[in-house]
Amino acid sequence: MTEMLDYIQFVLAPQVVTGLVLGVAVILVALGLTIIFGLLDVINMSHGEFYALGAFASVALGAIGVPFWLLLILVPLLMLPVGYIVERGLIQRVFHSGDRHVTTLLLTFGLGLVLEDVFRLVFGPNPHKPETPMPGAIELIGIFLPIYRLFLIAIGVAIIIAVALVVYRTRLGAMVRAAAFDRNMAASLGVPVSWVYAGAFAFGVALAALAGVLLAPIYSVFPTMGRDFILIAFTVVIVGGMGSIAGAVVAGLFLTQVQAIASLYISPVWTDPIVFGIMVLMLIVRPQGLFGRLGHA
Amino acid sequence: MKTKTTVLTTLLCATALSSAFAADPIKIGVVTPLTGTYAGIGQQVRWGLELATKEVNAAGGIMGRTVDLTFEDEEANPSVAVQKAEKLFQVGKVDFLTGTVNSGSTLAVGQLAERAGKLISTTVSFADSITGDRCSPNVFRVNARAGQQSSALAAWLAKEKPKAKVFYLGPDYEMGRSTVAAFKSDVQRVGGASLGEVFAPLDSKDYTQYFGQIRATRPEVLYTSVAGNDTVRLFTQLQEFGLLGNLTVLGASGTVTSQNVAAIGKAAEGFVTGVGYSAEIATPENKKFVEAFRAAYKADPDLYGADSYGLVYAYKAAVEKAKSTETDKVRDALRGLKWQTPQGEKTLRAGDHQAVQTMYVVRVTGGQFKIVSQVTGEEAIGADACTRF
């Protein structure tokens, strides 16, 4: 019995917490991705790079002395105009062609490559690591929990709830869902669709950047970090349903927990194939994902 | 149309004439990670090679010919390294190739070099097998291998913490497994106890999943051979979880270097490793080298920069001894070659093409790598395990 308690205390519980930390961050990134897909029908291959951009911004601003709590507010705000410019300046140029899916995919993929090289040119290939904002840990029923990770989970959950409230309980959210459901009808009813599109893209980018700021002290910052994240973010979006917020949350939690707990029993290298295996299975059995698309029933 | 042809023909003749007068340069191909996890290492390799090449060319080149470096990105991936090496051999027609970092890349490119009839040398790869059971007549190594590093470190451990209880954590590929195996056998030899080992995939984001195991065995010493970004994450996560308190961390020489020590910060304090180079070595040659390096690149050289710098001089000495760049003649000249490097005199052992050199034990103190002891080349080198030639 004590052996099992020891196991839960030292191995299983910390692993679940680690999975939650990653899960919350993945959900933030996947939320942006799924909103952009649900609303604009654009597969944003550069989304990982915006996550990295947020992290690099926190490193750069932190180096000139901006305190962490201010970074949490400032960096996403700074990303909003960046997202707006990308949407209006780049995506809208290829949005109205017939093969929009292909062109936007290629466009965002290229943008991702360019951004990654820009990071390497500006910041160098070596890793950077901002100071952990809340060092120290607490012992909760014998489980060792770093304070910063708990903070991360708390703030991530708060933001996710806020996003869900905005999308489902406010007029702004209703406009977004209407535009996702039927763009032309919404436009004729007075919804400023092009603003909604640009705004949603900017918002998705800001969420990814916020995830970058939050994770930077734990996972360190380096030019290829976007690549680490984009695969699991896409898997979450596909499994949860492309364009579904509830789906992103559920799939995000589920997949990261699967990854965290599986790595206790099998070689960690196999956790990635398992997660992708679930994605493939979902595509075969239920291609629309767990939940429906944004705005649709 | 006719004027265009005339102009083109004149240009062609002009280039033919001009190349007849210039002595053709010696081409050294460099396949090194310029992007990806080990990009920081590739940057030091590049800096070391470029500094040495500039100095050699300024002093008249090798046998009057300038040295040309051509860089290709290996992305720390053996299959990419092989493609790029093939390109350099067949299209670039390089005389010599170097720069591979990933031990798997060195082994793969070595096989390619045998087929292409050219020589390569690594200045970074640690895996013992490269000059051990998988040695090749076309592969040389001017840097210290895992066995030499762990001999130095084990000697230090025997003096400082005899009978220590050690846990091992390495990256799950050739280098990780061979460094852990080498140090484990050295630990058994000096009377320590091995508590357990775990191998994490390269580029692991979160090492916390192994902390449960580590805590359960209660080690005094942790040996790790992760590198680059992985070290930053492992050390800061160890600190975050309060594991660094009564743990001495030892590691392979590539684990903490000048490229990642800044990012690791206070978590690197007290880290000890056996290494073939430190910027603190007090010889006049090294001081000159470090000053030149700092002036050119505004950063300290680490073992990769220093060993890559040393390679150019080794190649120069071999070509001058052989009076040719032909593969067989240079190979004979390199075997048994003794040459001066910033870290003293090195010898390339003829039996396995491995460099024999003094090894240093270095501790990170306040972000600097301070030398705490050293071991002679003969003590550290270990047996010649190469039976192919």
Sole residue written with tokens 């903070």: A151
pLDDT digits (tens, 9 = 90+) for A211-245: 999 999 888 898 888 887 888 899 999 999 888 88
Q: Is the pLDDT of residue B14 over 60?
A: no
Which secondary-structure segment (H or E) carries A203?
Answer: helix A193-219
Q: Which of B252, B275, B298 is the last residue of a domain?
A: B275
Give the separation between CA B109 and CA B91, rounded to whole angstroms: 16
Mean confidence (pLDDT) of chain A: 87
Strand partners, A25: none
Instruction: Among A275-284, B11-20, B41-50, name the one with the lowest average pLDDT.
Output: B11-20
Q: Which pLDDT belongs to residue A59? A: 92
Residues of B in Cβ contact (< 8 Å) with A148: 240
Number of domains chain B contains: 2
B26-32 and B96-98 beta bridge pairing: parallel
CA-wise closest residue to A233 among A294, A275, A261: A275
Which percentage of chain B shows pLDDT scores above 70?
95
Quote the pTM value: 0.76
Rg of the Cα atoms in chain B: 22
Three-state SS annotation for A254-295: HHHHHHHHHHHHCCHHHHHHHHHHHHHHHHHHCCCCCCCCCC
CB contact under 8 A, B212 and A14: yes
Does residue B366 lie within any of the structural domains? no
Same domain, B213 and B224: yes
Shared domain check, B173 and B118: no
* One domain, residues B151 and B139: no
Query: What pLDDT score does B81 carry?
Result: 93
Run of H or E including A121: helix A100-123
B61 phi and psi, to 5 degrees? Answer: 75, -165
From edge to edge, which strands make up the β-sheet containing B139-141?
Answer: B67-73, B26-32, B96-98, B119-122, B139-141
pLDDT-based confidence at B20, cuts 50/70/90?
very low
| For residues B258-265, average pLDDT | 85
Does residue B115 belong to any structural domain of this protein? Answer: yes
3-state secondary structure of B178: helix
In sequence order, what are the beta bridge partners of A143? A140
User: Do B262 and B298 share a domain, yes or no?
Assistant: no
Question: Residue A187 above 90 pLDDT?
Answer: no
pLDDT in tens, A59-106: 999 889 888 889 999 999 999 999 999 998 988 888 888 888 889 999
Range of B170's domain? 147-275
In a domain, B306, yes or no: yes
Look at residue B159 in the predicted model and tell me its pLDDT. Answer: 87
Q: Is there a domain that residue B1 lies in? A: no
Q: Beta strands B338-341 and B344-348: pairing type?
A: antiparallel
| Span A189-209, pLDDT tens digits | 888 888 888 988 999 999 999
**pLDDT higher than 80, residue A2:** no
Nearest by CB to residue B260, choosing from A10, A126, A132, is A126
| Topology adopted by domain A18-125+138-285 | ABC transporter involved in vitamin B12 uptake, BtuC (1.10.3470)
- A272/A234 Cα distance (integer angstroms): 13
Specify the CATH number for the domain of residue B88.
3.40.50.2300
Instruction: Give the residue from chain A lying closest to B201, CA to CA.
Output: A269
The confidence score (pLDDT) of residue B21 equals 39
Instruction: State the Cα–Cα distance between residues B209 and A121, nearest whole angstrom.
Output: 33
pLDDT exceeds 90 at position B44: yes
Q: Which whole number is the average pLDDT over B364-369?
A: 88
Using CA of residue B43, residue B51, residue B127, residue B84, what is the dihedral sign?
A: positive
pLDDT averaged over every residue in chain B: 88
User: Of the segments A25-39, B1-15, B242-256, B304-318, which one has the largest average pLDDT value?
Assistant: B304-318
Tokens 């990933």, located at residue: B102
pLDDT tops 90 at residue A54: yes
SS3 B362: strand
> Model ipTM?
0.74
Tell me which amino acid residue B52 is. A
Selected residue with higher pLDDT from B220 and A289 = B220
Does B352 score more than 60 pLDDT?
Answer: yes
Q: What is the pLDDT of residue B10?
A: 62
The closest alpha carbon to A47, from A61, A35, A62, A29, belongs to: A29
- Which residue matches tokens 């601003």? A61
CA distance A196 to A88: 11
Interface of B with A (CB under 8 A): 34-37, 39-40, 42-43, 172, 200-201, 203-206, 208-209, 211-213, 215-216, 228-229, 232-233, 236-237, 240-242, 259-260, 262-265
Of B248, B275, B302, the last residue of a domain is B275
- Position B18 scores a pLDDT of 46
- pLDDT at B37 > cutoff 90: no
CA distance B382 to chain A (A): 33
Rounded mean pLDDT, A5-14: 75
Same domain, B154 and B270: yes
Q: Are residues B134 and B212 in the same domain?
A: no
pLDDT for position B19: 44
Q: Is the model's pLDDT at A143 over the cut of 90? A: no
Least confident of A139-153, B73-87, B272-286, B306-320: A139-153
